[in-house]
Structure 1
């Protein structure tokens, strides 16, 4: 029995409804089911059987979406990789995943190539012997070799069997992101419509929302901040949009307050998830609140020394290239620093982001929230810089708003010190300020905190 039989039955209930929209074209659920059947037949013709590791390279399109579902139904172990990912480590990562087959998008078609690799990992062998489909994702770390995260898709997919509300959803997150997978399966499981954009430029995203009457936008705080600064929302009709969800990084209170002011009829919901755990159920205290409850079916949480720990039924099996991170009772230390208020938590950053200034902890997010209140600053990233006397001091990399483009680093530093004097402790005020013309976020719209100087 396929791990997706229940999903295919659900999709058949909505056979005439729009399922996917891409390049102005639409595919119904009936079309998608037929496409999956064709792809499964193609897999059989090629010789890709259950338990094979398949590298699937491309973006969300009709072709790759159908192939992804076909591979899972085929009980293969799929490694989805965005076509926009950097090719510099491609060979290294293919070798790491032990992929026997490479499927790459080329001119709208998926080209197949067989390699001579054999599965060596005990995790992958166990998946194959159990007859379960697998998923391999890479951690988002930008230094060193990313961790290869192995999921049993039979476990990961179970939560989508619970019926939820259906929306016309703009698929912002990529195919190799756990959030992108969550968007796909949540939408298809509930008879919604997925809208695939060409790129993630604010104006294009706004145009897609207007043209296709999108109701739900799952995105990141960095993109929402860029949306504010670009003012692209002023050039399009976004009245169809009902909900914007944000995750992957901590949100600044000042950004959320600005969003609430600009879009008073739009509900903002915080999401929470990790590639290792899947996307978990989260409920914001209110649309303008950074406090949320994390839980849902098969999920437990606790706070240990200020860090959020989670035990989840949808957790990964383990890493291909790193030690098992779970304790003896199955708890996973997320390394997310969290504040607690009753049943609610607020994520204030990664433990690795904390800067120790003379023995006092500084959370970069707290400083960034103040900097973003300045009229001169469009975006800011605060990090630590080694210092001989106090261990570390703060450094702020900033994007300046266009009307203040003539400011020098020295002038801006003086303005920052004056503005922060009554809002932050002296040790929280950045000692170094660098002006950046390039964005302070990655191509995946997540802040870059380890930028090379």
Structure 2
């Protein structure tokens, strides 16, 4: 029987199995399912915990017991938290942080409960109710919005492929579990009784990679940006994954090829998914982009169409809409993902967000296309492209670049300029180019764009 809640799904797994591995220790499936929500069923709850095990325990307790909940990371600023709180009538927050970090919630009138106050070990069965899972969008180019999911819509892919088998796999978590990509890794791991390994989002990448290696990670998912960081880590040579997945950004051919060469025994898959659509496309043929055949032959029941250069998707199971009852779909059930696409030969490529276009004197520049051109240059290891205000053209294209080796910066500038002049139009080429030692990533594993 298909589980209707996260608790029901986890109760079908041997309670003695290990579910979560962190530097703090190992958490069993029994520990995850034994906590019950002690508040009212009509509650709308924010989960704001620094300890991943507390976050997961709260999610298990709330799903099927509360009206709605939204798990958010403790790394958000006060203004970002305020923007999310304004989108839903939250009344309670479950947290394991100190008084100072709780103040933003108290200012907005929420009741603050510690984990031990909100959750109690109780084996008694409770009546189940439909619970809204409120998931923030990535907010790459705008303020994050809350998308209303159910357990079924959020865990659709994991539930469809669910198979509890031995020995358990070890899934490495590099995403924030409170975002769509993080949920997908979490569900794929625990719903089939596997182990989820998490070393912390603030832990240096080489230490995270070493942690995954020490615990025998078999499945590793990350954005292409994070994969390029992983490949630079000495500890990456100790990894031996069976499955590599790239998501969150367009997978470039250079990164796909590098992963295939370094981990020849691994299946390398890249996916497209979005919080709004609640669905995903995947391909494992080693090529960037997705087959145009998906237009005629839906992937795992996900229909797609390309309209006016934008990607639209439709699936039987999908989110309910944005918080505030704003619909996500048109009357025929299609979701405009907001992603721009290009078609070349037998593939289509997701090339960027429509909301992130840079306007250079009337020419519309997609920053992701400029970044892809930069990454194709042999001397460029990483790059971020962003807009700079200009009194004459409105905006200019700017880029920060991490060089892949020891190259004289004067020579590097000329090499990059010559390389881009053959691939980009004049408005697309960066007029401001900085060489930096590192490019930061945000909570979703993507490059942190400039304001």
- TM surpasses 0.5: yes
SS in 1 for 2:148: strand
Give the length in aligned residue pairs.
Answer: 420
8 Å CA contact retained: 2:279, 2:318: no
In the superposition, relative to structure 1, how do residues 371 and 146 fare at CA in structure 2: closer, same or farther (>3 Å)?
closer
8 Å CA contact retained: 2:170, 2:196: yes
Spell out the pairing of 1:168-183 with structure 2 (5 A cutoff).
168-183=170-185
Kindly indicate whether residue 335 of structure 2 is the aligned counterpart of residue 313 of structure 1: no
Kindly indicate whether residue 320 of structure 2 is the aligned counterpart of residue 326 of structure 1: no
Tell me how far apart the structure 2 counterparts of residues 429 and 145 of structure 1 sit (CA, whole Å). 27
In the superposition, relative to structure 1, how do residues 416 and 322 fare at CA in structure 2: closer, same or farther (>3 Å)?
farther
8 Å CA contact retained: 1:53, 1:77: yes
TM-score (norm 2): 0.80
Tell me how far apart the structure 1 counterparts of residues 299 and 376 of structure 2 sit (CA, whole Å). 35
Q: Bigger shift: 392-401 or 306-315?
A: 392-401
Tell me how far apart the structure 2 counterparts of residues 157 and 89 of structure 1 sit (CA, whole Å). 26
- Tell me the equivalent position of 1:207: 210
8 Å CA contact retained: 1:147, 1:322: no
Unpaired segments of 5 or more residues in structure 2? Answer: 112-127
Tell me how far apart the structure 1 counterparts of residues 132 and 230 of structure 2 sit (CA, whole Å). 36
Structure 1 residue 248, shift from structure 2 partner: 1.2
Structure 1 residue 94, shift from structure 2 partner: 2.9
Structure 1 residue 145, shift from structure 2 partner: 3.9
8 Å CA contact retained: 1:381, 1:440: no
- Tell me the equivalent position of 2:160: 162
- Tell me the equivalent position of 2:290: 291
- Tell me the equivalent position of 1:93: 84
- Tell me the equivalent position of 2:418: 418
- Tell me the equivalent position of 1:216: 219
In the superposition, relative to structure 1, how do residues 73 and 296 fare at CA in structure 2: closer, same or farther (>3 Å)?
farther
Give the one of 175, 197, 200 matched to 2:199: 197
Structure 1 residue 192, shift from structure 2 partner: 1.4
Tell me how far apart the structure 1 counterparts of residues 284 and 300 of structure 2 sit (CA, whole Å). 19
- Tell me the equivalent position of 1:36: 33
In the superposition, relative to structure 1, how do residues 225 and 161 fare at CA in structure 2: closer, same or farther (>3 Å)?
closer
TM-score (norm 1): 0.80
Tell me how far apart the structure 2 counterparts of residues 259 and 150 of structure 1 sit (CA, whole Å). 35
8 Å CA contact retained: 1:397, 1:436: yes
Unpaired segments of 5 or more residues in structure 1? Answer: 119-129
Kindly indicate whether residue 42 of structure 2 is the aligned counterpart of residue 51 of structure 1: yes
SS in 1 for 2:331: coil
Structure 1 residue 338, shift from structure 2 partner: 2.0
Structure 1 residue 169, shift from structure 2 partner: 0.4
Structure 1 residue 401, shift from structure 2 partner: 4.5
Give the alignment's Cα RMSD to 1 decimal: 3.5
8 Å CA contact retained: 1:260, 1:288: no
